[in-house]
Amino acid sequence: MESKKSQHKKTGFINGCFDILHIGHKRLFQFAKEQCDELIVAIDSDTRVAELKGTSRPYNSENIRKEMLESLVFVDTVLIFSSEKELINLIKNLSPDIMVIGSDYKNKEVIGRQYAKQLIFFERVGDHSTSKIIENIGCG
């Protein structure tokens, strides 16, 4: 008979915009999935992305971003949130075992961190960013 502890699926949580996926995102998801059994990714709604990054963003709609993320082998569930309060409530309700966030947030406030059992920082992969991709192809 299995113990209760072994029956518990370890959940991981990541949130972000994930507008145009790049190698840094792939490695972030892979790293996070290695830390847990189930990886939940929460993405900013189109309205929230526009508020945070300007009216020319997002480049891809929330439905496209959600579908792309759901196609990744590392990602189990994708949720959409529209406000900081909604994000906090999401994390509070999920109470993930781990929350993975980019290392650029080491000395910054991490929304909802108090509801995750453990916060893990992921070192950025080079200088890859969606903003740079958009800038380089002249869409922004």
Which helix (H) or strand (E) covers residue 68, if one does? helix 62-70
Domain 11-137 has CATH 3.40.50.620: yes
pLDDT, tens digit (0-9, with 9 covering 90-100), for 38-93: 999 999 999 999 999 889 889 999 999 999 999 999 999 999 999 999 999 999 99
Q: What is the pLDDT of residue 106?
A: 87
Which helix (H) or strand (E) covers residue 101, if one does? strand 98-102
Residues 6+ apart with CB under 8 A from 68: 18, 21, 60
Residue 99 corresponds to which tokens in the numbers above?
């929350």
pLDDT greater at residue 59 or residue 96: 96
DSSP state of 83: S
Residue 4 pLDDT > 80: no
Please give the torsion angle defined by the CA atoms of residues 53, 55, 61 and 65, in that order, rounded to the nearest 10 degrees: -10
DSSP state of 39: E
For the segment 117-127, the average pLDDT, to the nearest whole number, is: 83
Residue 131 pLDDT > 70: no
pTM recorded for the entire structure? 0.84
Q: What is the pLDDT of residue 1?
A: 46
- Distance between CA atoms of 104 and 102, rounded to whole angstroms? 5
Across all residues in the chain, what is the average pLDDT? 88
Which of 32, 56, 55 lies closest to 42, judged by CA? 32
pLDDT, tens digit (0-9, with 9 covering 90-100), for 102-111: 888 888 999 9
pLDDT greater at residue 59 or residue 13: 13
Residue 16 corresponds to which tokens in the numbers above?
């972000």
pLDDT band at 6 (very low <50, low <70, confident <90, very high): low
What residue spans define the domains of the chain? 11-137
Q: What is the pLDDT of residue 124?
A: 74
Instruction: Please report, in angstroms and rounded to a whole number, the separation of the first and last CA atoms in the chain.
Output: 57
